Chains A and B, each alone.
Chain A
Amino acid sequence: MLSIRNLHAGVEGHEILRGIDLEVKAGEVHAVMGPNGSGKSTLAQVLAGHSAYAVTAGEVRYDGQNLLELSPEDRARAGVFLAFQYPVEIPGVSTAQFLKAAVNEIRTRQGQEELDAIEFLAILREKLALVEMDQSFISRAVNEGFSGGEKKRNEILQLAVLKPKLAILDETDSGLDIDALRIVAHGVNALRTPDNAMILVTHYQRLLNYITPDYVHVLFNGRIVKSGGKELALELEAKGYDWIRDEVGAVEPLGAA
């Protein structure tokens, strides 16, 4: 589904990703772990098409297309979804209004009928239950005045409604208390199907207690330096990231976040 080869990218002439290789197939869940500044969020943003990052080399194929040539909206319409680390507030626009516009735009582009207000509300209600959000959420402005946990749950709600083929969750676990983490993980697990794939970008192993990945990759200084199964995450949790640095013999200090 997704094939990343030798991806180099950075911001304002500063290279952050230095040759990423990653293969993701339908039905798989990949965890990308790494210390602060390793390039995890940059990878997520580059895949979603943020214009602040310039791709300097390499390629990303998604479903046979050159993903990097697509605008952010065309990526979304093709089934790519990024759950933001820092979801943005949209004052004056309700979650229901926003999601209805988004889902119908995507459906139209994928050759499906638009949902009418009643169909949409039925789906929205069902997905609200999945992330244990109150009805009142959908009439509140998107993320405005939401707590950190509410914002992350709103991302999962959007994921559930938009049903992407490839979901990238950027540090969705950060800043969550144990209950919110459980809710988010439950939502994500419920959305796993043999046809879609997920990339979980995370600093900590604890999310992986709830969502079992098929593969774990360690990102370090802009490269994937180690890949393995779910047991790799436990090893990282036990030993921290320093042993990776020793192992790869990196001489550069870890960058700041």
Chain B
Amino acid sequence: MTEVATVKDTYLAAFEAFERGGAGGSPGGLLGLRREAIARFAEQGFPTVRLEDWKYTSVAPIAATAFRLADGAFDSLPAEAIEALVVREPVAHRLVFVNGRYSAKLSSLAPLPAGARVASLAEALITDAAVLERHLARYAGSEGIGYGFTALNTAFAQDGAFVHLPSGVRVTEPIHLLFLATSLTTPVLAQPRNLIVADRGSEATIIERYAGLGDDPYCTNAVTEIVLGEGAALEHDKIEQEGELAFHVGTTQVVQARDSTFTSGSIAFGGRLTRNNLRVRFAGAGGTCALNGLYVPHGGQHVDNHTLIEHAQPRCTSRQLYKGVLDGGAHAVFNGRVIVRQDAQHTDAHQTNKNLLLSEGAEVDTKPQLEIFADDVRCTHGAAVGQLDEDAVFYIRSRGLDTQAARMLLTSGFMSDVINRITVASIREELDGLLLARLRAGQAARETR
């Protein structure tokens, strides 16, 4: 315990130094929020398994590691490794961050519609102070129990992506946000902070991707806040490909105004430990959200998806489809919490979590959590954990494909509906390839045993 306390103290001391150094030039209100956040963190520290929301996911290894707060430094960047991750074909809009800091050199931005802003948060803190003052750290609260990671991020947040779409603006090309982690002698804690503000009637697709460039341990603690104005429509796809020894804690907080539409695709490949918090709050009537997720842990990977949808207003629709394919000794957690407030009449909420276990050693904990305070609502949920259907394997074999091909076909079929809901074709194709490679590696490992 003393060790843990010591690590926490280093963050507290680091904050004092940060504050003395001007706290990253925070606009007035933000400094106050940072102070509140570090006070929360001092109080709560990192969550422990004694908390219901963290019961199945121990972050003790994160709490016990003296990570160096990322300051944008990196030893060297293997160009070919970046090339492999930065999609081969050029894209219109791509912001690249290395160890939490924006890299202008690796980024590219095509002209945007008038008024639209896509920039690093560090730049926006200067150029878009008014929008930041109004929105940054106003949604992903630090006050909740077990929100220590968000508090730590808010305290130190200096860089990340900033996207602002003024009313009626439609950005047709997807906006790619790529967060790369590379090795340093001391394990790094990168804390990207992203803010996406889509004003009334605006539309865009944003791909948020995290990738490790090496096999070294590091930690990403990312927070993304998404604010949708009336009638705005946003697709947000998060692809997590952290290094095999990395820790990833990602919190996405969405607030939806009246009649807005939010679609999320969350695909988790990497990391030794991944925890995704995806929270959506319907702050206006008539909104729609669709949260789709896929996790494919293998080996000793642990991946935990916690979703929270708060129906605070009437006539909102939420759909959740989370699927897992687990191999080796992997462990996955799905916790889907839906709160329907008293005024949220005519809520239509549906949640499905399905898991496919490819090995004896894999394990899933799945839990729907429905809290309904309104009486005229439709809320359903379903969860399943199973293995490949042997009758289907035989059926496919009877058509000439071998057992391996049959298993692959069934597994990719199982995953396809989540992938197919991502509207960016190049991302779908890339994900198909990555998933196939993951399945092939699993098959090969099974055969050598």
Q: Do A and B share a complex?
A: yes
Task: Name the contact of A76 in the complex, choosing from B391, B397, B409, B416 (C-beta under 8 A).
Answer: B397
Task: Name the contact of A88 in the complex, choosing from B392, B400, B405, B415 (C-beta under 8 A).
Answer: B392
Q: Is the CB of B405 within 8 A of A72?
A: no
Q: Is the CB of B395 within 8 A of A73?
A: no
Provide the residues of chain A in CB contact with B414, threshold 8 Å.
91-92
Please, what's the 1-or-0 string for A66-81, where 1 marks a CB less than 8 Å from any CB in chain B? Answer: 0000011101110001
Task: Name the contact of A72 in the complex, choosing from B389, B397, B416 (C-beta under 8 A).
Answer: B397
Give the distance to chain B from A72, nearest Cβ to Cβ, in Å: 4
Give the distance to chain A from B176, nearest Cβ to Cβ, in Å: 27
Q: Is the CB of B394 within 8 A of A51?
A: yes
User: Is A101 positioned at the interface, with any CB of B under 8 Å from its CB?
Assistant: yes
Q: Is the CB of B398 within 8 A of A105?
A: no
Residues B392-443 near A (CB distance < 8 A): 392, 394-403, 405, 409-410, 412-417
With A and B bound together, what is the CA distance between A48 and B405 in angstroms? 18
User: Is A192 positioned at the interface, with any CB of B under 8 Å from its CB?
Assistant: no
Residue total for B at the interface (Cβ-Cβ under 8 A): 22
Give the distance to chain A from B354, nearest Cβ to Cβ, in Å: 10
Task: Name the contact of B397 in the complex, choosing from A71, A91, A93 (C-beta under 8 A).
Answer: A71
Q: Is the CB of A71 within 8 A of B413?
A: no
Q: Is the CB of B409 within 8 A of A72?
A: no
Provide the residues of chain A in CB contact with B409, threshold 8 Å.
90, 93, 98, 101
User: Is A158 positioned at the interface, with any CB of B under 8 Å from its CB?
Assistant: yes
Q: Is the CB of B413 within 8 A of A92?
A: yes
User: Is A109 positioned at the interface, with any CB of B under 8 Å from its CB?
Assistant: yes
Number of A-B pairs, beta carbon distance below 8 Å:
73
Provide the residues of chain A in CB contact with B417, threshold 8 Å.
92
Q: A88-B391, A92-B415, A92-B416 are in contact. Are A109 and B398 (CB under 8 A)?
A: no
Provide the residues of chain A in CB contact with B413, threshold 8 Å.
90-93, 141
Provide the residues of chain A in CB contact with B412, threshold 8 Å.
92-93
With A and B bound together, what is the CA distance between A48 and B403 in angstroms? 14
User: Is A82 positioned at the interface, with any CB of B under 8 Å from its CB?
Assistant: yes
With A and B bound together, what is the CA distance between A90 and B414 in angstroms? 9
Provide the residues of chain B in CB contact with A48, threshold 8 Å.
398
The closest CB in chain A to the CB of B402 belongs to A73
Q: A90-B410, A93-B413 are in contact. Are A102 and B399 (CB under 8 A)?
A: yes
Q: Is the CB of A89 within 8 A of B392?
A: yes
Provide the residues of chain B in CB contact with A75, threshold 8 Å.
398
Residues A89-130 near B (CB distance < 8 A): 89-93, 98-99, 101-102, 105-106, 109
Provide the residues of chain B in CB contact with A50, threshold 8 Å.
394
Q: Is the CB of B398 within 8 A of A72?
A: yes
Given contacts A92-B413, A98-B396, 14 further A-B contacts (CB under 8 A): A48-B398, A49-B398, A73-B397, A73-B401, A76-B397, A84-B398, A90-B409, A92-B412, A92-B417, A93-B413, A101-B405, A102-B396, A109-B400, A141-B413
The 8 closest A-B pairs by CB, nearest first: A92-B413, A93-B413, A76-B400, A92-B416, A102-B399, A88-B395, A72-B397, A106-B400
Which residues of A are at the interface with B, using a C-beta cutoff of 8 A? 48-51, 71-73, 75-77, 81-82, 84, 87-93, 98-99, 101-102, 105-106, 109, 141, 158, 162
Which residues of B are at the interface with A, using a C-beta cutoff of 8 A? 389, 391-392, 394-403, 405, 409-410, 412-417
Please, could you name 6 A-B residue pairs with CB atoms under 8 Å apart, sorted by A? Answer: A49-B397, A72-B397, A89-B392, A90-B409, A92-B413, A105-B401
